[in-house]
Structure 1
Amino acid sequence: MSRTAVAAPPRLALTIEPEPAKALPMEQERALLRQAIDRQPATEALRRGYVSLSLLLDAFDDVIALGTPLAEDTGAASDLLAVAIAYMSRDHDGDMTCADGFAARAAAAADEPKPRAAALALHGKIRTLLGDRDGALTLLEAALEADPANVDAAKRRMTLLLRRGQPDTALAVADALRARGANHARLLAAMGEAHAMLGDLATARSLIGVPDFLVSETLPVPDGWSSLEGFNADLSAELNGHANLRYGRYGVASSHSWRVDRPATGRVPANRALRDAITARVLDAARRHDAIDHPWVATRPDRAIFHNWSVLTDAEGYEEWHVHQGGWMSGVYYVDVPDAIVNGTGREGCIAFGLPDDPVDGAIATAYGETLVRPRSGMLLLFPSQAFHRTFPHGGDRRRICVAFDIVPA
């Protein structure tokens, strides 16, 4: 009996939805929740919302004060995990031991694979910080057994293996995870590091995707503005005066920098216009990439969320080496770049793509090479989320303002 070959269905086009907008600044929302809790102190949903916002705002004392009784009342894995994160992040004397206990309880309380994996992944991080790398690896293996797609567990397990000088084992772990359906930015980044450590720099460069997929262009003038200069001036004013503007945030790559989370909060027409303009450019780039046979292109989602934030750096601000592990494609739009950076000849204020020298040896990172990009106001960069990058202090007297973003699989 003959069979007729059936062509594979065409790939669905990428659709990108904006992250749900918030009506209130985070501190104002948290204050209102606090008032509601004072009136209804036993309401779990109010207390949980307050704890969640307090974590985002690095108010770790408040998380511990309110989240501990909530966790004891409910015994829920998510509530126990929030307290563990707060103790780990605050890191006062004895806090890491408390974090260890709450993370273990969270893992034991989780009755579904994904929350169990999340708790085990955090517990693995805490054991690493406590110096117990063997125990950490055991916990991270268990996390990935429960949920092979858990990004944090993959990142931490692969990093520990690479630091032990075991790139072959790391690649075997990556292959096993990919066979079980995992395929995310942090996995591709670690595979690139492993290949570099094995001396295969060509494969490392190909997996990480710079400069093959790095896009640099001038953003078209958004609708409603007559010039990019006028648009950038309005956007800069919105960001400098934003209600969510704060100095520093725990657990991010930015150092000595101001940050705006949820920049679409409130009456911010320029921020929302920027989101729409970037989305159009991302969709155009994704269409062009679709014809290329590459592991990163193969992970392109059909549906995604546009998630963004702003970084404002004075003279000493910079970004440490990092990848955007939650995204598929990432990027940055430069709102205001001081002339000293634009016209400079050194690294000051620039963004560099390459490999960090931990866990990769410094000589290997040097051999891998670095792609340095000199920003200018109006420049849009797009790159794979697994691409390692960092920035350098600019030393000037004017702020360098940019908006970073991730296209996050939905």
Structure 2
Amino acid sequence: MNAKNRTFALGAVLVMCLTALACVNVVSDDSDAWNANAGTYIYMDSDYYDFEGEDCDISERCTTGTIWGSSASLNPTDHPGPPSTEYYLPQWASGTVSYNLIVMDGGGVDIIVDQTDSATVVGTYGLSSDRPITDTVDTGVWINGHYGTKTIYVRSGTQFDLRISDGYSTHNVNLSNNSCGLSVTSTDLGGRITGTLTGNVTISCSGVWATGDQSSATYNIVAVAAPVSYTHTIVYDANGGNGTVSNTVVTDQNNGNTNVTLAANGFSKAGYAFVGWKIGNTVYQPGQTVSVGANASVTATAQWSENTVTATANNISGVSGMSYTNQVGASASNGGSLSYAVKSCTGGTASVNANGLVTYNAPNVSSTTSFTVTITVTGTFSGGSTVVRDVSFTVSVDPVLSFTNAATSGTLSVKGA
């Protein structure tokens, strides 16, 4: 029987199997049934057939089913490789992934993925009874026919172990471009390619059927080393403020630490000024960088400083009928600017300049009198917020001494003498 007839025979067997299992549940899978645990299995865009008579989900093991269809894909957000009609294999974050390619009699190719350090992979198996099952964490996809070229995507830097076997009496396995330094072990019925995949490799396969059937076949497998993407994220905490600041996310191929630039502040807090982002025990300024690990995040917490104004002024005593000056001492936190205004004056007149220097003109009094001058100090801060403080001081005014000398003799008394 030649290869074409073998392929037809396999298809006929499949039709008979499906006809006999008319009660089998068929799930039209648009990734719904298989995408809940993306990264640990293969799903098809076409129908999924469970030969045990019940639908499989990610929580159970399907030991005799197969995924059948003309196209297969994985969630492109979780797996490398461009969206296409090629066959995608799942990628794991760590560990060794083995790719077994089993070439069946009749022209079928079954790709099986072994992930020995993961127990959550759903097992799905091909139709052939002689298909080897190596352990409980296999995942496979049936490819109808091995003629032409098939592509698998492998995480760059992953240990690559691809086994090829079939019913040929002779078999040749070659690497047409071995830039990764992979090793090839040939056997009579297949071959094995091992090593760490860091670049794209084309594996050329050819063979002759067993004695009595002189048909031969050739095909290629292209192993594409897909770059691994890692995210490094900064999350921002308002720490009692309002507003939003979007996460800063850097995506690269660095599986270690990457420097990520801190965002500008977008939060606000009434009566406070933003003074930086605190990560750990260090306060950083927007625009500075912090080191973030692969697929990790750090939280930058907004730091706030209260807006405050302080003001003082000294009292004045012993003035009479003259102008006097008095300096208001004031300061504002967080770089606030200061302005001054006379709020009240209970006697005489007062004015204040932009620097807080008060000029006081005393009135005439008949006896010592105290007057109060109140100055309003306003601090204006970033964002337009203000803080107002009043400061007061007293002025003690004495009467002006005056007399008329109408006699050539007498006694003049002066207060305080």
TM over 0.5, yes or no?
no
Greater share of helix residues, 1 or 2?
Answer: 1
Higher relative contact order, chain-length normalized (CA < 8 Å, sep 6+) = 1
When Rg is computed on C-alpha atoms for both structures, the one with the higher figure is 2
Greater share of strand residues, 1 or 2?
Answer: 2
